[in-house]
Amino acid sequence: MYASVKTRRDFLKVISLGAASLAVPGCAGISGQRTGKASKDKLNFVFILIDDMGWMDAGCYGSTFYETPNIDRLAAEGMRFTDAYAACPVCSPTRASILTGKYPARLNLTNWLSGKIRKKLIGAPYIGNLPLEEVTIAEALKEAGYATCCIGKWHLCTNPEFIPVEQGFDASVDRQNLRRSHKLKKTDPKVISALTDESLKFLEANRNKPFFLYLSHYAVHTPLEAKKQLVAKYKDKAAGLPPAKGPRFLSERQWQVRQVQDHAVYAGMVQSMDESVGHVMKKLKQLGVADNTVVIFMSDNGGLSTAEGHPTSNIPLRAGKGWLYEGGIREPMIIKWPSLTKGGSVCCDPVTSTDFYPTMLQMAGLPLRTKQHHDGVSLVPLLKGSEALDRKAIYWHYPHYSPQGGTPGGAVRSGNYKLIEFYEDNHIELYNLKKDISEKHNLSAEMPEKVAELRKMLHNWRKSVDAQMPIPNPQYKSKTGE
C-alpha cells in the first residue's frame, strides 16, 4: 500500500514542481529538495506551534505569573484571537488539521500517536501516519517556489516513510538530530535554544527567496525541565505571591485540576519558549524581511492542568489538555500580517486550526484547494477587519480516553452555544460560552430544543466525515459492578 501511495506522490511532485531542484541549506539533519521559481515579492511564513500551551499562559491572555514579553509584543503588532480552537484536545490530530485543512475525523487520525487506553469503551480505530495522499500546506507552498523547513516536533507518523520531507518539507530537524549535532541529552532544557538556532540558520540561508518555516517546539510539554536560573527565579516569584483566594486544586470527576499558576519549572519553560519567539522576530528584522513575513503563533491543545504534574492552570476555562471542555481546546493564537492587520487588534470570532491552510494560500495569492482544505475557512476577511466568517459551526470528535482524564466524546460550537456529547453514556451538556466561559451551568435540561438542534448537527457532521466511533469493551468491569 505504501509503495502505491509513494509512487502517486512522486508523480504529483514531478508534474507540479518540474525537473529542476537544489538542496536547501541552513538546516542540520535530514536534507531534501526544493524546486520552483522564487520571487522576493511573495510573502514569507513563519508558523510557531507550541506544545501544550494553555489559553492563559501568556501575559497578553491574562497571565500575571508567566513572563512572555515577546509573545505580548507579537500580539501588539498583530491580531490576537480570543476564541481560537485546536481541532482536538490532544496533539497529533491538531497537527494534522493544520497541515491538511481537514478535521481529524475526516482524516481518521483522531488520537495522539500512539495512544492506547482500555476502559469502558474501546477507542475508535485510527491511522498511524499522516497519509501521503494529503497535499499539505508545505507542499502547496513548495510548488509555488517556497523553501520549506520543519524544525522540531512532527508527531504525525509511526513509520519513518512518512517523515516531513515526504510531506512537502525540503528539510527537517527534530530532537534526535539535535542530540547528534548539538550533543544534547535525550531530554534537555537546551532543546528550545537548539531548535531556535536551527530556525535562525534556515532564515539566514533563505533570506532572498520566499520561505515557510514551521517551528514546532517540544515545549512546554512534559518532561518538565527548565534552566536552573529560571527555576530559581520563578520559585522566588511564587514565594512572593499573595495567598490564593481559593484552593490550589479542585476536582474534575476523579481528577485534580490546578487552579493557580505558580509552577516554577513550567514558568521557566514558558520564558525560554518566549525568548525563542523573540529571537526569531529579531532575526526577521535583521534580515530585512520582517515587513514581508507573516508570523503565526498557536498551540496544539489546551494547557496540561489535570495530570502529569499539573503544571499550569487554565482558569477561567474548565479542565485542560485531553478534555473537550474549553480548557482542552481553546488556544492562544496570534497572527501578524504586516501592513494589512491592525496591530493590537482583537478578534472574538470562533476560528479553528483547519483554517490556516486556506488563509495562507490566500495571503500568498495562490489558488485555493477546496478539495484539500475541505474544513478550513480563510481568515483573511477577519485579518483585514472587514467582515465575519460565513461558517455555521465548528466540530470536534475525540473517540478516545486521554491520559489526562478526558473520555470519548464529540462537541459542536454554533454561535455562543456549545454542546458536548459523552460517548460512554451519551449524556449531553450544553453551555452558553458568552455568559459562561467556565462551563459551570449546564443548560441541557433548560433548553431541550437547542440540544436537539445541535445534537442533530453533530450527528449529521459525524456521518458526513465518516467519523469512527468507539465500541463497548466486553472485558471491562467497573469497580462498582456496573
- In three state form, how does the secondary structure of 298-365 look? EECCCCCCCCCCCCCCCCCCCCCCCCCCHHHHEEEEEEECCCCCCCCEEECCCEEHHHHHHHHHHHCC
Residue with the three cell numbers 528584522: 285
**pLDDT (tens digit per residue) in 68-119:** 999 999 999 999 999 999 999 999 999 999 999 999 999 999 998 866 676 8
Collapse the DSSP code of 290 into the 3-class scheme (helix H, G, I; strand E, B; otherwise coil) and give the result.
Answer: helix
- Interacting residues of 116 by C-beta distance below 8 A, sequence separation 6+: 123
State mean pLDDT over 164-171: 97
pLDDT band, very low/low/confident/very high, at 165 (cuts 50, 70, 90): very high
Q: Is the per-residue pLDDT at 200 higher than 70?
A: yes
Residues in Cβ contact with 298 at an 8 Å cutoff, skipping those fewer than 6 apart: 47, 48, 49, 50, 84, 86, 98, 331, 332, 333, 334, 353, 356
Per CATH, which fold does 2-393 belong to? Alkaline Phosphatase, subunit A (3.40.720)
φ/ψ of residue 180, rounded to 5: -80, -50
Residues paired with 421 in a beta bridge:
410, 428
Residue-range domain boundaries for the chain: 2-393
**pLDDT tens digits, 379-437:** 999 999 988 898 999 999 999 999 999 999 999 999 999 999 999 999 999 999 999 99
Distance between CA 72 and CA 49 in Å, rounded? 16
pLDDT, average across residues 334-338: 98
Residues 6+ apart with CB under 8 A from 5: 131, 132, 133
Q: Which three cell numbers stand for residue 480?
A: 462498582
Let me know: does 327 contact 303? Beta carbons within 8 Å: yes
Confidence grade of residue 9 (pLDDT, cut at 50, 70, 90): low
Exposure string for 401-422, b = 16+ CB within 10 A, e = fewer? bbebbbbbbbbbbbeebbbbbb
> Is residue 354 a contact partner of residue 347, using CB atoms and an 8 Å limit?
no
DSSP-based three-state secondary structure for 3: helix
- Residue pair 356/375 in contact (Cβ under 8 Å)? The answer is no
**What is the value of pTM for the model shown?**
0.92
Cβ atoms of 307 and 255 within 8 Å: the answer is yes
Joined together, the cell numbers standing for residue 43 give: 510573502
